Chains A and B, each alone.
Chain A
Amino acid sequence: MNQTLQSDHPGTEQLSAFLAHVLPAHEHDLTIAHLAKCSYCRSIVFRLQDISVETTTDSMPASSSVPWFKNWKWIVPTATVLSAVVTGVFFLNKRPTELPQRASTVPPTEIASTPPHAMYPPPSVDRIAPSPLSNKTHLSHNRSASPKASSGTPAEVGGEQPSSSNGSLNRPINGRDLPTLIPLTPNSSPSGDSTPESGRQPGGIAGGAAAGMIAPVAPAGGSSLPSGALVVSSASNGTRTLALDRQGNLFLTSNGGRTWQQPARSWDGKAVTIAFSGVPNRTTPEAHHGSGFPRGRFELQTDTGAVWLSFDGTHWMKKTP
C-alpha cells in the first residue's frame, strides 16, 4: 500500500500548494481529479482546511476576531457621548436665535462677589433682553408683553441702556426665565449668605452667579412660597425680592427666601406680573451717587391692567396714568 501511495498520491508539496491556492491550473486540475478518486487525500485536505481555520482563529487576537460593532461594552459610553454632543449642539444653536441675550456689562469680578441672595430673576416685562444687534426684536417683544414697557424710561425698557448694570438683571438665566424654569417648592433653604457653599444650591442656579449669570431666589431644594403655589413672576431690587404665585398672592423676602411675608393687599383684582425697574442695590455706589440704595421701584400689574408701584415692596400705590 505504501508503494501505491508513493507513486500515485500527490505529495506534501502538491497538497500544501493546493491548499494555498498557488498551484498552476494544470496541477490544480490534476489534484482535483485525484481528490475525486482518493478518499485518503480528500480526508487530508479537508482536515488541513479545518486545522488552518482553527489555528488561525486561535492565533488571532481576541479583539480582532470580534467586529467593533458587536462589542456591546461601547454602547453606553457611545450613547452618553452622543447625547451630550447633541444636547450641546442643540443649545448652542437655539440660545442666540430664540432668546437673544444682552451682553453683560457687569465686570466679572463684581458678579462673582455679589451675594447669591442679590441675584434675582429679571422682571417679567423685561424678561427678554436684546442684544445690541436686535433692538427691534426687543422692542416688539416688550410691546406685546407690557404696554407700559415701550413707553418707559430707558432703564425700564432695559435693552435701551446698554451701559446700565440693570441689563444684567434683566438677563434671563441661561436663556430661560425663572418662573418657567423652576417652580418654587416648600422649605426654603438659606441662600442669603455669601459663603461658597451657598453657591452650590441644589438645582445649580446659584452656581450660575460665578459664571456671570443672575441667580433667582433659589427655591429649588426646598425653598418655596408659603402658599405652596408655583411662582409666576418675581422681581428683586437687590435686597428685597417679591414673588407672585399663581393665585395672585404676593410674597416678600429680604433674606434670600428663608422667610416670606405677605404685604398688605392694596390693589384690586388679581396680580399677574411683578417687575422691578431701576438700578438694583448691588451696583457700585459710585455709579449711583454714592447712595447704595436701590434706585428703582417695583411695579405690579393686575389682571385689570392697573399698575401699582412700590419702593420697598410693602407699601403700594396705584400708578396714575
Chain B
Amino acid sequence: MGTAAPQSGDVALNPPAKSTTEDTSQNPAILEALAEELWFAAKAEDVGLTRPEFIAKLTQVGRKHNCNQRPGAVSTGTDVASFFRSLHLADLALAHACALGQESAWQRFIAQYRAALTRTAMAIAESATVAHDLADSLYSDLYGLNEKDGERKSPLESYSGRGPLIGWLRTALVQKHANYQRRVRHEVPLGTQDIPVPPPFEDIASSAIGNVQNAVVSTLGTLSANDCFLLVAYFLDHRTLAQMGQLLQVHEATVSRKLKRLKKALRKRLIQELQSTGLSKRAAEEAIGIDPRDLTIDVRSLLQSLPAETFIGQEPSSEQSL
C-alpha cells in the first residue's frame, strides 16, 4: 500500500448538513486526518479503489445513515468519527470495488466468501443442487447482471459496512431463498390447504362475544412493538425462549419473565376493557373464559397488520428484489 499524500478536495466526510460549526472536530485538517486514517485502515488500494472513490463511498454511507443519529439530528464531529471508525472498512471497500466491477476485488471476494456462502446455502436449502443454484444465482445478482434502465447495478452498492459483509451476504441469500419459496408456494396443490372452519351458530350470547372481541382488539392494539414481537414470536411462530433471547441480546430467563408479565398485564387490561363496557369484574372474568373458538378474531392478522411507519433511509434499491 502506498503512502499517497492527501489530495486536496478528497475530504468529503461531511455529515449530512446541519453540522455545528463550533465543533472543532469539523476542522478540515481533522477531517483530512480522519480520511487518511480510514483510507489506510480499509486497505482499499488493494482491491483497486482509488482514494476519491473510497471517500465518496464513505460520504454516501454517512449521509444515508446520518452517522447513526436519528433523522434530522445534528451529528457532531465525534459522532462522525466514531461512526466511520465503527464501520467494517475493509469489507466496505471490497463490496464497493466489486460493485464498481474491479476484477481484483471480485477475485478476492470469491476467494474469501465462496466457501462460506456455499455452506450457508447448504444450510438453507433442502438439497445440494438447490444450494448450488442458490449460491450461483446470488453471484450473478451481486455482479449486477440484472440491469435496470440499461445500467448494471449491483446490490453490493447498498452495503454500508455497519455489519460484517458475510452477515450481509447471508441475509441476502436467505432473502433470496425466501422470495423463491414465496413464489413456489402458489404451486402447492389445493387439496393440502386447510378448509376454513364454518362460522359458529349464533346460539351463544352474541353480545358477550362481541364485547370480548372488541376488548381483545383494543387491548392488542395498545401493545408496544417489543411486546408484540414477543407474543408473535413465541405464540405464533413457536420460537424458543433461547432464540428470542439471542436475538434481543437478553437471557432466555428474561424473555420468560417478560412473557409471563405480559400475559398477566394483557389479562388485566382485557378485564378493564370489558369493565368499561358496563360489565362487573366477575362478569368480565367469566366473559374472557369463553371458548376461543367462538371468537371470530384473526389474532395473527391483528398482530401483524403492517405498521404505519416505514424504514428511514431505506432506499428502494435492488437489494429488495434479490
- B320 touching A11 by the CB < 8 A rule? yes
* Chief secondary structure at chain B's binding surface: helix
- Decide yes or no whether A141 CB sits under 8 A from chain B: no
Partner of B171, one of A12, A24, A32: A12
Interface presence of B310 (CB below 8 A):
yes
Q: Does A73 contact B (CB under 8 A)?
A: no
The reply to whether A37 and B319 form a contact with Cβ atoms under 8 Å apart is: no
Interface residues of A in 35-55 (CB under 8 A from B): 35-40, 42-52, 54-55
- Minimal beta-carbon separation of B177 from chain A (angstroms): 8
Q: Please report the C-alpha to C-alpha distance between residue A58 and residue B121 in the assembled complex, in whole angstroms.
A: 13
Q: Is the CB of B229 within 8 A of A36?
A: yes
Interface residues on A, range: 35 or more
Give Cα A8 to B320, complex, Å: 10
A36 CA / B233 CA spacing, docked (Å): 8
B146 within 8 A of A: no
Cα distance A178–B168 in the bound complex, in angstroms: 79
User: Which of B163, B178, B226, B246 contacts A17, CB < 8 Å?
Assistant: B163
Interface presence of B145 (CB below 8 A): no
What B residues does A17 contact at CB under 8 A? Answer: 160, 162-163, 167
Which one of B69, B167, B172, B182 contacts A19 once the chains associate, using CB atoms below 8 Å?
A: B167
Residues of B within 8 A of A289 (CB): none
Q: Is B150 an interface residue (CB 8 A)?
A: no
Interface centre among A11, A35, A51 (most CB of B within 10 A): A11
- A-contacting 9-mer, from B14-22, B198-206, B235-243, B276-284: B235-243
A12 touching B162, Cβ below 8 Å = no
Q: Which of A23, A24, A38, A48 contacts B174 (CB 8 A)?
A: A48
Note all chain B residues with C-beta closer than 8 A to A47: 124, 174, 178
Q: Are A32 and B232 in contact (CB under 8 A)?
A: no
Task: Determine the distance from Cα of A55 to Cα of B116 in the docked complex, in whole angstroms.
Answer: 8
Contact stretch, chosen from B24-32, B103-111, B189-197, B299-307? B299-307
Q: Mark B159-171, 1 if CB is under 8 A from A, else 0.
A: 1101110011011
- Chain A residue contacts of B303, Cβ below 8 A: 36-37
User: Which of B155, B174, B237, B320 interacts with A39 by CB under 8 Å?
Assistant: B237
Contact B233 A11 (CB under 8 A): no
Q: How far is the CB of B309 from chain A (nearest CB, A)?
A: 7
Q: How far is the CB of A2 from chain B (nearest CB, A)?
A: 7
Cβ A24 vs Cβ B305 within 8 A? no
Residues of A within 8 A of B317 (CB): 11
Cβ of A70 under 8 Å from chain B: no
Report yes or no: A16 in contact with B306, Cβ–Cβ below 8 A. Answer: no
How far does the Cβ of A38 sit from chain B's closest Cβ, in whole Å? Answer: 7
Chain B neighbourhood of A29, CB < 8 A: 225-226
- Main secondary structure on chain A at its contact with chain B? helix
Is A7 positioned at the interface, with any CB of B under 8 Å from its CB? yes
Question: Quick one: which of A9, A14, A33, A51 contacts B120, CB cutoff 8 A?
Answer: A51
Check A38/B304 contact, CB under 8 A, given A5-B320, A10-B311, A12-B172.
yes
Q: Which residue in B155, B231, B306, B316 is a CB contact (below 8 Å) of A12?
A: B155
Q: Cβ of B320 and Cβ of A9 under 8 Å apart? A: yes
- Chain A residues, CB < 8 A from B123: 50-51, 54-55
Q: Are A43 and B247 in contact (CB under 8 A)?
A: no
**Cβ-closest chain A residue relative to B160:** A13
Shortest distance between the CB of A226 and any CB in chain B (Å): 78
Residues of A within 8 A of B175 (CB): 12, 15, 44
Assuming the contacts A22-B163, A32-B229, asked whether A11 and B311 have C-beta atoms less than 8 A apart, the reply is yes
Q: Which residues of A contact B233 (CB under 8 A)?
A: 35, 42, 46
Determine which of A36, A48, A50 lies in contact with B232 in the assembled complex, contact meaning CB atoms within 8 Å.
A36
Q: Which residue of B lies closest to A40 (CB)?
A: B178
Could you tell me the distance in whole angstroms from the C-beta of A60 to the nearest C-beta in chain B? 12
B81-131 interface (Cβ within 8 A of A): 86, 116, 119-120, 123-124
Query: Quick one: closest A residue to B73, CB to CB?
Result: A26
The reply to whether B316 and A32 form a contact with Cβ atoms under 8 Å apart is no
B188 close to chain A: CB less than 8 A? no
Question: In the complex the two chains form, what is the Cα distance from A46 to B178 in whole Å?
Answer: 12
Chain A proximity of B72: nearest CB distance (Å): 11
How far apart are B92's CB and chain A's nearest CB, in angstroms? 11
Find the B residue at minimum CB distance from A9.
B320
- The answer to the question of A30 belonging to the interface, with a C-beta cut-off of 8 Å to chain B, is yes
Q: Give A174-214 interface residues, CB cut-off 8 Å to B.
A: none
| Contact A11–B162 (Cβ < 8 Å) | no
CB within 8 Å for A21 and B249 given contacts A11-B317, A37-B304, A51-B124:
yes
What's the least CB distance linking B57 to chain A, in Å?
14
Contact A2 B321 (CB under 8 A): yes
Q: Which of B182, B225, B247 contacts A36 (CB 8 A)?
A: B225
Chain A residue numbers with a CB within 8 Å of B5 are none
Q: Besides the contacts A20-B164, A34-B307, A43-B178, what 19 more A-B pairs have beta carbons closer than 8 Å?
A: A1-B182, A9-B320, A12-B168, A12-B172, A12-B175, A17-B160, A17-B162, A19-B171, A29-B225, A30-B312, A33-B225, A33-B309, A36-B229, A36-B232, A46-B247, A48-B171, A51-B170, A58-B119, A59-B116
Can you list 8 pairs linking A and B with CB atoms under 8 Å apart?
A: A12-B158, A21-B249, A24-B68, A43-B237, A44-B171, A48-B167, A50-B123, A55-B123
Interface set of B (CB-CB < 8 Å, partner A): 68-70, 86, 116, 119-120, 123-124, 155, 158-160, 162-164, 167-168, 170-172, 174-175, 178, 182, 225-226, 228-229, 231-233, 236-237, 239, 243, 246-249, 300, 303-307, 309-312, 314-317, 319-322
Q: Nearest 3 pairs between A and B by C-beta?
A: A33-B225, A20-B163, A36-B228
